[in-house]
Structure 1
Amino acid sequence: MTVIETDRLLIRQIRQNDLEDLYAICGNEELMQFTGDGILSKELTQKWIEVTLNNYKTKGFGMYAVCDKPNHQFIGYCGLIYSKYISDNELIYALNKDFWGKGLATEMAYAMVKYGFTTLKMERIYASINPKNLASERILAKVGFKEVFRKKDEAGLDTIYYAIEVWQRPGSDRRVNH
């Protein structure tokens, strides 16, 4: 089921048959180098799909498949997850390297944040990144996130935490508080 449609992307619920495509990202060292979980085995990737399917039922949101709109090719994931570590909702995303440098990560992050505020009525959304992940830092700034604190994450890695509490469409003076 498509949850969000942008100019170039379809963001849909993850399915059991997405295992190979999701594992191609989660099992890739370069793509996962800045994530706290690191590389996932195929078994852990399958477990994440199961947890996600349960999150749709119990929370109404989770991690989603990101597909290239023209051909519906699975190119990444993004979503909103509840982080026990910060006791709030957090934006997550990763994109297949073949699609880097095209503005797609910003497009999907923007769409997911908008969905969180307007559809899910979230009051705040966090994002956390490794300080070396300069590309994600630029993406978060474009979407409207501001740095709020730095500390070690649950895996003991240095982490910068960002938050956005007011939804504002980029290039607009119209602000929506939730």
Structure 2
Amino acid sequence: MIPTLRTERLQLDPYVPEDEEVFVALFLDARVSRWMGDGPYPEEEIRALFGRIFTKVYAQELFEVWAVRRDGRFVGHAEIKPSEVVGGHEIIYALAPEAWGSGLGTELAEAVVAHGFGALGLSEVHATVAAPNLASLALLGRIGFERVRDVTEEDGGTTHLLTRRRARSAPVRQG
């Protein structure tokens, strides 16, 4: 079962079927989709992806995917999932442009990373970011991600693999 996560201003909860239109609108927005995989994608592919969240991801409990809401209103998407490309768990997040520039991206990424370290017990979390996506690279750098290597994509573009390692706890002093 996908847990609900809460931050100061956001709530991350499992998608419901009624979220389809806002999900599709988010991924059809060229300002968002240009940074998501090989986007932008045709609408029918986005709708099929939304359907797979229920029929595959949730049904088989493959990984965690959330609708991101602020004050009850959909503002984005987040997930943490195993990835062969990064050799571990990768975070993925997207916010609607009207939510940009308000610190919500940092809040969102921190919540997903904390969930990975806490509930999932991960020792490190990864992210892949297209080299031109300076805003996301800056955000991840601010919250402790470090560039590990670059991947040259089929189209010749460069994607940076970034990793954040869980801080080691200080040893507990005995009596």
TM superposition shift of 1:124: 2.1
Q: Secondary structure of 1:58's match?
A: coil
Q: Contact between 1:151 and 1:158, CA under 8 Å: does it hold in 2?
A: yes
TM-score by length of 2: 0.86
Cα–Cα, structure 1 residues 61 and 126, in superposed 2: closer, same or farther, change >3 Å? same
- Asked whether the 8 Å contact 1:52–1:62 carries over to 2, the reply is no
Unmatched tracts of structure 1, length 5 or more: 169-173
**Is 2:78 the counterpart of 1:67?**
no
Unaligned 5+ segments in structure 2 are: 171-175
- Which residue of 1 is the match for residue 102 of structure 2? 102
- The SS at the match of 2:23 is helix
| Code of the aligned partner of 1:4 | L
Q: How far does residue 125 in structure 1 lie from its aligned partner after superposition?
A: 1.3
1:154 Cα offset (Å): 6.5
1:127-165 Cα offsets, whole Å, 9 max, x none, are: 011111111011101221111000124765310000112
- AA at the equivalent of 1:56: Y
When residues 17 and 135 of structure 1 are mapped into structure 2, their CA distance, relative to the original with a 3 A threshold, is same
Listed as ranges, the matches of 1:23-172 within 5 Å are: 23-53=24-54, 54-59=56-61, 61-68=63-70, 70=71, 72-153=72-153, 157-167=157-167
- Percent identity between matched residues is 27
In structure 2, the partner of 1:15 is 16
Measure how far apart 1:36 and its partner are: 2.1
RMSD over aligned Cα, in angstroms?
A: 2.2
Q: CA 1:84 to 1:59, structure 2 compared with 1: closer, same or farther past 3 Å?
A: farther
Decide whether aligned partners of structure 1 residues 16 and 78 sit closer, same or farther in structure 2, where only a CA change above 3 A counts: same
User: 2-side partners of 1:84 and 1:155: how far apart?
Assistant: 20
Q: Which has the larger radius of gyration?
A: 2
